[in-house]
Structure 1
Amino acid sequence: MTNTNTNTNTNTNTNTNTNTNTKKLEGLGGWLIVVAIGLFVTFFLVGRQIYDLLDMMFFSGTLEEFININSDYYIPYIDKLFLFELIGNTLLIIVNIYLTYLFFKKDYKFVNTFIFLEIFNIIIIVFDQILYQKLLAQFFGSSDLKDLFRALIHAGIWIPYMLKSERVKNTFINGRPTDANYDSISR
């Protein structure tokens, strides 16, 4: 009879030790560090694009050359393309600021906002190319294809990560509604 109790206690202790040794993945670590770096890099990359657009539109006179009907470089409606790019990039930076705030707050809205930003970026690239094609009869040069391909690969990696990662599910929980039905409809 003592032999049976000893075996039962040993099995119970082994199961307890196994459960305490598994670490719950949560917090801004692991691959989320790469996401954080990407958020900061986006500020600089998109910020640089906005700066270049503003320079061309208002300071260097480049846009003036393109919209002057008497210029050799006249391109009809190119100002609309520049304006579209400026608005699109400004929206990207605003959403990125909000996304960074949600990231460090560990807010549950981060995941959906991140996915929205990934998809929005692809849409901006495609619409930009459609405008280029309409205005310049130029559609998807090698640089443009590289940008689109890069955005698709980025989204193809990070969107599934955001949806499937245990760390993401355990980290971005702040502000989540406490309704018992929330979990059944959220994912």
Structure 2
Amino acid sequence: MGTTSPARRHADMEAPPVSSGMLRNVLREVPTAVTVVTATTGDRPAGLTVGSFVSVSLDPPLIGIFVDEKSSSWPEMRNSATFTVNVLSGDQQELCARFAASGRDKFAGLPLQKSPLGNPLLPGIAAWLDCRVVEVRKLGDHHFALARVAGLGTTAATTSIVFHRGTLHAIP
């Protein structure tokens, strides 16, 4: 039988319940990177805006993304063995909105290049990371994809975007 430490029992007894709204209000104070994750599914590109992108490990090089379980794009991307993280530059708010929306061809009219792993690289991005999926698991109301970085690069973009206090901001 497992036992709970006295410190853990104490913290559990005194902690007030945390609602999703309370958590969202506090997390608004933490700037987050804004990325578009792309993959090739079958013979067509797929992509979605991801605001929860994290560095997991430098050695080995691992990153993670968190995708809302309600995403309409994730089901077609979920089983892909690779994806590419496109780090948006400071002037790409429209591209962020385009890939956050559902129900349309997000790639229409975009001049695309392919990453070394064959996924779409978006024009004008600040940086990119080509990734091989290690594991995907459901955590709460999100799916977490852990991936090993297989290639990466930066561009001439001078700014990137962060999401802070409910709005997008360009940072130098």
Instruction: Note whether the superposition's TM-score is higher than 0.5.
Output: no
Instruction: Give the TM-score band, short-chain normalised.
Output: under 0.3
> Which one has the largest radius of gyration?
1
Which structure is higher in strand share?
2
Q: TM-score, normalised by structure 2?
A: 0.21
Superposition TM-score, scaled by structure 1 size: 0.20
